[in-house]
Amino acid sequence: MEYNALRYFFVYGPRQYLGLGYKSVIIKNFQRMLSGKSPIINGDGFQALDYSFISDIIDGTISAMTLDVHSEVINLGSGKAITINDLTNKMKIVAEYTGETIHTDSDETFGTIRVCDNKKAMKLLSFKPKIDIRFDAEKVVSHNNNSMPSIQVPSSKNILLHSEKAQIIAVDEAQFFDDELPHVCRQLAQQGKRVIVAGLDMDYTGKPFGPIPNLMATADHVTKVHAICMSCGNPALYSHRKTNDNNLVQLGEKEEYEPLCGACFHSKA
């Protein structure tokens, strides 16, 4: 019998079973905060776990069903751990809860770090989970908290699976997508659909970011929107990172980044 075994990590999302342990900490604490009660964390909250949204796992599972190779054991997860403290703080923003967090006695997860090694999934399935969970798992959310419903996809090609009946397709955070995104957008446009793509054209070092240059070169129309330089008030072209983290992707807002014009950006580089 031909098979592939999939190993899921901490999966969350709509209709999630309440269950036990940290697989259900999201739904339990959301229920508490929405009813005005304090979220509860066992121990100091520095346990770091790998959470993945259900739609990512579904897409990865479907991709695994069409693999040409067999007898593989594949991890499906985000590949990135988040502490329970950080997770709870993000949930507080969504729930608009400003109360305290209750810490109880430690449990068996004290001091643990559980992170998915998803390299095989990325290689065999082109699995790339949604990485931006800073505000809402089911909505595109702007920095001024305007939002609209969205569908998370693990790779550019998965957009085609959700767009059959759509006439307008909007893609947000396009800089984080793989290099197939321009091809997918052209394919959708050739079908007579309107495709709107938003994303950063440069990373924090001032270099072209992901598939954005290719998208801009092949787009019918390009609109560049500028912020205001936080140092001098001129139009800002750059996103200056204020922390010492050298990773290309670091999600954040005012605490981590500030918009700067060219002169101010290069003076701080």
Tens digit of pLDDT for each residue in 151-181? 777 788 889 988 888 888 988 889 989 999 9
Residue indicated by tokens 């509860």: 40
- Res 142: pLDDT: 47
Asked if residues 45 and 82 have their Cβ atoms less than 8 Å apart, the reply is no
- Res 140: pLDDT: 44
Architecture per CATH, domain 1-129, reads as: 3-Layer(aba) Sandwich (3.40)
Q: Is the pLDDT of residue 130 over 60?
A: no
Q: Tokens for 87? A: 């997770």
Catalytic residues: 173
**Reported confidence tier of residue 268, pLDDT bands at 50, 70, 90:** confident
Q: Considering the chain, what is the average pLDDT of its residues?
A: 82
- What is the pLDDT averaged over residues 45-59? 86
**pTM higher than 0.85 for the full model?**
no
Q: Is the pLDDT of residue 108 over 50?
A: yes
- Res 12: pLDDT: 82
Q: In whole angstroms, what is the distance from residue 269 CA to residue 53 CA? A: 36
Question: 73 CB contacts (<8 Å, ≥6 apart)?
Answer: 4, 5, 7
- The strand pairing partners of 49, in sequence order, are 82, 114
Q: In whole angstroms, what is the distance from residue 238 CA to residue 261 CA? A: 6
- What is the pLDDT averaged over residues 90-95? 82
Residue indicated by tokens 């998208």: 215
Q: In whole angstroms, what is the distance from residue 57 CA to residue 74 CA? A: 12
Asked if residues 169 and 196 have their Cβ atoms less than 8 Å apart, the reply is yes
Q: Is 12 helix (H, G, I), strand (E, B) or coil?
A: strand
Q: In whole angstroms, what is the distance from residue 41 CA to residue 88 CA? A: 9
Question: 72 CB contacts (<8 Å, ≥6 apart)?
Answer: 4, 5, 120, 124
